[in-house]
Amino acid sequence: RDEGCDVVWIKANTKLCPKCQNPIEKNGGCMHMTCRKPGGCGHEFCWICMKSWRDHRQCNAVEEDATGKAATKHELLRYAHYFERYLAHHKAEQFASKGLRQASEAVAELFTKSLGVTVSDVAFMGNACNQIRNSRRFLKWTYAHGYFMKCDDAKKRLFEFHQAQLEGTLERLSDIMENTPWGSYMGDEVISFQPFYDLRTRVISLTSVVCDFFSKLQEAMQQENFAGA
C-alpha cells in the first residue's frame, strides 16, 4: 500500500487531540469527540473548534474585525470558518443517512425481539435519525448563507443565535443516538425496562426541541429577516 496515500488519508480524516496530540479519526456524525483509551488520554473536545467539550457552548460565529493589511488574511480565515462547518455537517448528514440509520434500525429490531416492545415503542429511533439528517442538511446550507449574508450586526447576531440553538441541541441528540450503549438495556441481566423508557422519553423530547429550533430558523430565513441591512 502506498505510504503517501496513507499520509493523505490521515490528514484528511484525522485531527490531533488538543491535549495529548494523539491522532483521532472521526467515524460518526456527532462533533463531540473523545480521545479514547487505551492509546488516548480521555480528553473530550469539539471536532470543529477543538475546544474542551466541558466548557463548550457554541462555535458557529466568526469575528468580523479585519482592518488594513490583515483584511486579506482575515477573509481567508472567514472562508475557512464557514467552509469547515459546512463540510462537517455535510459529512455528518451522510453518516446520518446511512450509518446511523442502519445501526438504529438494527437496534430497534433487537429491542422488539428481545424485550417484546412494540414497533411504535422504538419508532422514536427512526424519527430521531430523520430529524438529525434533515437538520444536518439544513445547517450546512445555513453556513453557506452566513458566508454570503449582508446585514447589520443585530440581524447577524440574531441569525447566529438561532443557528447555535439548533446546532447545540442537535449535537446533544446525535451524541445520545450514536454513543448510547444500547446493549445495556437488553439481556438477561436487565431487571427493569424503565431505564429504556426513560431514555426513550428523553430522545423524543430532544427530537421535538431540535424540530422546533429547525422550524424557527427556517421561518426566519424564509421571511428574509436576515437578508439585507
Residue 227 clears pLDDT 90, i.e. is over it: no
With cut-offs at 50, 70 and 90, classify the pLDDT of residue 139. very high
Question: Which grid coordinates belong to 120?
Answer: 411504535
With cut-offs at 50, 70 and 90, classify the pLDDT of residue 229. very low
How much of the chain, in percent, has pLDDT values that exceed 90?
46
Q: How far is CA 37 from CA 7, 21, 218, in A?
A: 23, 13, 40
Whether omega before 38 lies within 30 degrees of 0, making that bond cis, reads: yes
136 and 163 Cβ atoms separated by less than 8 Å: no
Residue of 49, 40, 70, 74 lying closest to 171 (CA atoms)? 49
82 and 63 Cβ atoms separated by less than 8 Å: no
**Model-level pTM?**
0.84
Long-range contacts, stretch 57-61, CB < 8 angstroms, 24+ apart? 57/164, 57/168, 58/164, 58/167, 58/168, 60/85, 60/143, 60/160, 60/163, 60/164, 60/167, 61/160, 61/164
17 tagged catalytic: no
Q: How far is CA 1 from CA 4, 5, 6, 7, 11, in A?
A: 9, 8, 8, 11, 17
β-pairing verdict for 32-34 and 14-16: unpaired
pLDDT tens track for 73-102: 778 888 899 999 999 999 999 999 999 999
Residue 228 clears pLDDT 80, i.e. is over it: no
Q: List the catalytic residue out of 17, 30, 35, 129.
A: 30
Residue 71 clears pLDDT 80, i.e. is over it: no
Q: How far is CA 161 from CA 85, 88, 121, 212, in A?
A: 16, 19, 34, 14
Question: CA 60 to CA 148: how far, in whole Å?
Answer: 15
β-pairing verdict for 14-16 and 23-25: antiparallel
